[in-house]
Amino acid sequence: MQPHHRSYWPIVAALTALSAPLVIMYVYQLIDTVTTTAPGSIIPNGITLQHWQFLSQPITRDGPTIWALAGNTLIFACSTAVVVTGVSLTAAYALSRLAMPGRGLFLGGLIVLHAFPTLTLIVAVFLILQYMGLYDTLTGVILVKVAFELPFGIWIMKGFYDSVPWEIEMAGVTDGASRFTVWRLLVLPQVQPGLAALLIFSFLSGWSEFILPLVLAPANAPQVLATYLAAIIADDRVADFSLFKAVSIFYALPVLAIYVIFQKKLMNIYGGGSKG
């Protein structure tokens, strides 16, 4: 082994030691969903698939199926990601390239909007949705989530657009292409890392959202997996923690898959445009 590789061993050992409790916890969680244990014991004494029956039947008689909840969560996350990414792509390009009046004030306003915690605006949002007739609907929650995520998305994409050299666009315009064609064919390929990262992070933010669906859509129809998980252990006297762990694993699988598939894109989030 080369000397410079040996120098990494202390770091690897330290990270392994720090990560070991988390790995053990997740392994035990997975084991606990397919085994039974005696009261007061942590050693499994049998194997069972009872905790995974929620995949084929509703957990409660009048409650929604897990697949309906997963569908609501998927719609919520995908809609949030698509709308946030689409609006951010165009708005950030305008803020990056056009010398519009009040641009600095607008950018400062975006930072202020992103700084507000969700809970500080929840009462005002509740009243607006009531007035619009969108309270207790999945559409209303999606619109609110998009509004909260847009400032971050616009700022992220503006940074990527700023890194794209003007010469690329000027060459396209000089050749007779329209500004839209230049943006679509020449500029967008240069900001693909930012586009991919924003799409992924917006999806994950929507997938894991809890407060907005809980407060703004409390009925069963627009319920999502995050609120359903909280409902499982709402009454700690009769809570089924093995079921809670099984649903949690089901809930986390798409997130793990996204990180595994798109880890290279996520690592390139700070990669800007090139002069190629």
pLDDT tens-digit profile of 235-254?
Answer: 666 677 888 889 999 999 99
| Chain mean pLDDT for the chain | 85
DSSP designation for 58: -
Per-residue confidence band for 70, with pLDDT thresholds at 50, 70 and 90: very high
Distance in angstroms (rounded) separating the CA atoms of residues 146 and 85: 10
pLDDT of 89 above 50: yes
Which residue, 56, 54, 55, 76, is CA-closest to 221? 76
Rounded percentage of the chain residues whose pLDDT exceeds 90: 35
Q: Is 175 helix (H, G, I), strand (E, B) or coil?
A: coil
CA distance 242 to 230: 14
Give the pair of three-digit tokens for residue 49: 């698939």
Of the CA atoms within 13 Å of residue 188, those in its CB half-sphere come to 13
Neighbouring C-alpha atoms within 13 Å toward the C-beta of 168: 21
Between CA 17 and CA 11 the distance in angstroms is 10
pLDDT band at 273 (very low <50, low <70, confident <90, very high): very low
Domain with CATH 1.10.3720.10 in the chain: 64-267
Q: How many percent of the chain have pLDDT more than 70?
A: 89
Tokens of residue 42, six digits:
């942590």
Per-residue pLDDT at 271 exceeds 50: no
The C-alpha atoms of residue 42 and residue 163 are separated, in whole angstroms, by 55
More confident residue, 30 or 240: 30
Q: Is the pLDDT of residue 233 over 50?
A: yes
Residue 184 DSSP code: I
The packing angle between helices 241-261 and 225-232, to 10°, is 150
Q: Which fold is adopted by the domain 64-267?
A: MetI-like fold (1.10.3720)
CB atoms within 10 A of CB 138: 20
Element (H, E) at 119: none
Cα separation, 189 vs 169, in Å, equals 12
